[in-house]
Amino acid sequence: MTRTGILPNIRAANERAATMKKSCISGRITTFHQQSIHSMSLAYEVMRLFASPQGHLVEIKRHDQMANTSDSGHEWLWVTNRSVSSLHPSRIEGEMHQVQTFREAQLQLVDQHAELLWFNGDRFTLEARQPLTLPPEQRQLIHNHLS
């Protein structure tokens, strides 16, 4: 192919690409700005917060209509740097408030400390945190988890 034969093909390809860019903006990925975390309306309130090197244990009260948890919308979440897991209550007759059993783990509360014993054998010692504020990254993970 001669040089003059290539140029019209390149121009046509560039024109098609420009047209596609204008019409396909829905797949565009934008940069996440930290300030957008603060502008999100929160559909929950942090009731209790415990921390350990492995993650945060958070008791929340959901304010949205989608809260399908028992105990007036209260829910326990295990939050790490990368994920959030809901803890699902297992009702055991006669269980005291200091010990709560979930399908995934057992939680023992003692004053300002807690111990989370996972049924896979992991045991985490946690300390209560005040104020009840999580780092922005963990708040974003919870927001995504609850959405």
Domain positions in the chain are 41-146
Task: Return the residue matching tokens 């057992």.
Answer: 106
Is the pTM above the cut of 0.85? no
How far apart are alpha carbons 132 and 79 in whole angstroms? 14
- For the record, the structure tokens of 38 come out as 């603060």
% of the chain surpassing 70 pLDDT: 61
- Sign of torsion, CA 141 109 121 51? positive
Rg (CA), the chain: 24
Q: Of the given ranges (7-21, 41-55, 95-109, 110-124), which has the lowest mean pLDDT? A: 7-21
Q: Which pLDDT band holds residue 74 (cuts at 50, 70, 90)? A: confident
Mean pLDDT, range 53-68, rounded to an integer: 81
pLDDT above 90 (res 94): no
Q: Would strands 74-79 and 55-62 be described as parallel, antiparallel, or unpaired?
A: antiparallel
Is the CATH number of domain 41-146 2.40.128? Answer: yes
